[in-house]
Structure 1
Amino acid sequence: MLKERIITALILAPIALGGVFFLPLQPFSWFIGAVILLGAWEWGNLAGYEAPLPRITYVLTVLLALFASTYVASSMILWIAAVWWLLALGLVITYPGTVGIWSKSGVRLLLGYLVLVPAWVGLVQMKAYPDSWILIVFLLFLVWGADVGAYFAGKYLGRHKLAPNVSPKKTWEGVLGGLGTVTVVAVIASPYLPFTSLLSLLLVSCLVTLVSVLGDLCESMFKRERGIKDSSQLLPGHGGILDRIDSLTAAVPLFALSLMLLGN
């Protein structure tokens, strides 16, 4: 399993970074859109649809939503995402007590739009900034660093469960380890980022880290209710697309919104 994870990561990382560094804005939006549509295919399964036809239909509706989002102010979509992730926090904390609110397949499909579309909008907005690669790579390192820090801190120090009803292996010590890692990442990267102060950068970095954990927990909650371990078997050793981007779907809109609010 570890060997498969490493091989898959070595293949995916250059593709992702190549898209960030070398693709102009329009092709980049298509590239990210393709990833989001693969995620939509898997989300159809999370919503309870196994047959291809309803899942293909859902993918097409997400494609239409991406197209429609280009006619809506990005700020509005990012604020909607912020509200959704605040609500998602409540759902995760109260799971399984509030599962009746979102257990129906149609509701889960609707929630998929709130997860997938703002992630695309946020990345495309960041790509439009000058020196966009710095911002996007920094965000990727935040999420990856938080994941690595949480893994090792949780493995060797983890005692207190974070959300046992949703993801029994995650611990508060893991969260603190992730925050420590991203603090180091932010301090190292601070000279190259368009933030007016180190304090604002650290605050945004910690917020994005916490929200990325929420994105992971949210997908785990949907998978647990669906009775599956992975969103698919598309990526050997990693599960599906959603299993790889669940943290990013939450982190991207909040990071993009923070940049907008700070005037960067």
Structure 2
Amino acid sequence: MLIQRVLTALVLLPMLLAAVWFLEPPALYAVFCVAGLLAMWEWAGLMGAPASTTTGRAVVVAICAVALLVAWFFRQHAVWVLAAALLWWLYVLLALLRGYPENFQHARPQASAMLGFGLLMVVPTMLGLWVLHAMPEGALRVLFLFFLVFAADTGAYFAGRRYGRRKLAPSISPGKTVEGLCGGLGLSAVWTLLAGPFVFGLQTPLAVLPLLGLCLLVAGFSVVGDLCESLFKRAAGIKDSGRILPGHGGMLDRVDSVLAAAPTMALGLIVLKI
């Protein structure tokens, strides 16, 4: 399993870096949309019948494709889509995660609601990545975001293994701990302080503080994205969303943290004017 994970990463990482660095924003949006549609195919599998059938999944993916196309034509108003995504992730944090499993035992979301949930996760993410890439030094900003999410995940893993005692969300993801969360936020802060001034052209320590606050928020929301997918997988009784990435599971398993992080980061940079 570990060898599969490493080999898959060695193949995908150079492709991702090359796409971010060399493609123009419209082309990169199209590439990211392909990943988003694959994730939406897997999300349909969590929705239950009839969406989980092959025909149902195709319909869900087609609806998402139309939504992504509409979002592209109205990309100049992306801030409203990003704001809607932020409200969605706040709802996930305050209502879905905090209320699980009682909220699902009382009334599990219907397929129509699940479709809306999926669109709120995928469409703003792809638009948020386009917004980041279209900014000055956009390729660096997108890569900064990816490594920020990686830092949050890596710091949480090692801090959780070494110091983890208190469960963060035992009914959703028993392996996650409060200490792991703190470790992830700590490594995210280190990454921001080291790379942030260079990527965003910040000249003074005081100018880095708003970016640091934003990045800690983004790192925290990346955990919310991870827990959100874990919640819906647990409710559906499955371990992985798919098998498209050997050793890693499905596309949704790999992008769950980015789904919450990307729109939050893009909106934050717009608001802070960084």
In which range does the TM-score fall when normalised by the shorter chain?
over 0.9
* Matches of 1:142 and 1:26, distance apart in 2: 23
Distance in 2, matches of 1:182 and 1:140, equals: 11
Structure 2 Cα separation of the partners of residues 165 and 55 of structure 1? 28
Query: What is the Cα deviation at residue 195 of structure 1?
Result: 6.4
| Amino acid corresponding to residue 234 of structure 1 in structure 2 | I
Q: What residue in structure 2 maps to residue 259 of structure 1? A: 269
> Secondary structure in 2 aligned to 1:149?
helix
Once the two structures are TM-superposed, the CA of residue 109 in structure 1 deviates from its matched residue by 1.4
Q: Could you say what secondary structure the match of 1:162 adopts?
A: strand
Do the aligned residues in 1 keep the contact of 2:44 with 2:56 (CA within 8 Å)? yes
Say whether the 8 Å CA contact 2:85–2:120 is kept in structure 1. yes
Shift of 1:103: 2.6
Q: Which residue of 2 aligns with 1:96?
A: 101
The residue identity in structure 1 corresponding to 2:125 is A
Sort the Cα spacing of 1:68 and 1:201 in 2 relative to 1 into closer, same or farther, 3 A.
same
TM-score (norm 2): 0.93
Partners of 2:151 and 2:271 lie apart in 1 by: 24
Which of 127, 131, 136 aligns to 2:133? It is 127
Whole-angstrom distance in 2 between the partners of 1:40 and 1:17: 23
| Cα displacement (A) at 1:29 | 1.0
Q: Read off the aligned partner of 1:181 and give its amino acid letter.
A: L
Which consecutive residues of structure 2, in runs of 5 or more, have no partner in the other structure?
Answer: none
- Extract structure 1 runs of 4+ deviating beyond 3 A: none
CA RMSD of aligned residues (A): 1.2
| Residue of structure 1 in register with 2:118 after alignment | 112
SS at match of 1:98: helix
Deviations 1:108-154 (A, max 9, x none): 11110000000011001111112101111110110001111111111
Equivalent position amino acid for 1:2 in 2? L
Contact 1:134 1:192 in 2 (8 A): no
Is residue 27 of structure 2 the alignment partner of residue 22 of structure 1? Answer: no
The CA distance in 1 between the partners of 2:111 and 2:169, in whole Å, is: 24
Query: Which deviations, in whole Å up to 9, do the C-alpha atoms of 1:3-50 show, x marking residues without a partner?
Result: 111111111111111110011112111101101010110010011133
SS at match of 2:176: strand
Cα deviation digits, residues 36-70 of structure 1 (max 9, x gap): 01011001001113321110111010000011113
The letter for the 1-side match of 2:226 is D
Aligned residue identity for 1:88:
V
Contact 1:145–1:178 under 8 Å retained in 2: yes
Q: Within 1, Cα distance between the matches of 2:59 and 2:7?
A: 33
TM-score (structure 1 length as normaliser): 0.97
DSSP-derived class of the 2:102 partner = coil
Distance 1:102 1:119, change over 3 A: farther
Q: Give the match for residue 227 of structure 1.
A: 237
* Equivalent-residue separation in structure 2 for 1:216 and 1:112 (angstroms): 14
Kindly provide the CA deviation profile for residues 203-236 of structure 1, in whole angstroms up to 9, marking residues without a partner as x.
0110000000000000000000000000001111
Q: How does 1:125-204 map to 2 (within 5 A)?
A: 125-194=131-200, 197-204=207-214
Give yes or no for contact 2:197–2:208 (8 Å, CA) kept in 1. no
Counterpart of 1:175, as a letter, is L
Instruction: Confirm or deny: 8 A CA contact 1:231 1:240 kept in the other structure.
Output: yes
* 1:195–1:201 contact (8 Å) kept in structure 2: no
* CA distance in 1 between partners of 2:196 and 2:91 (Å): 31
CA distance in 2: counterparts of 1:213 and 1:255, whole angstroms: 14
Corresponding residue of 2:82 = 78
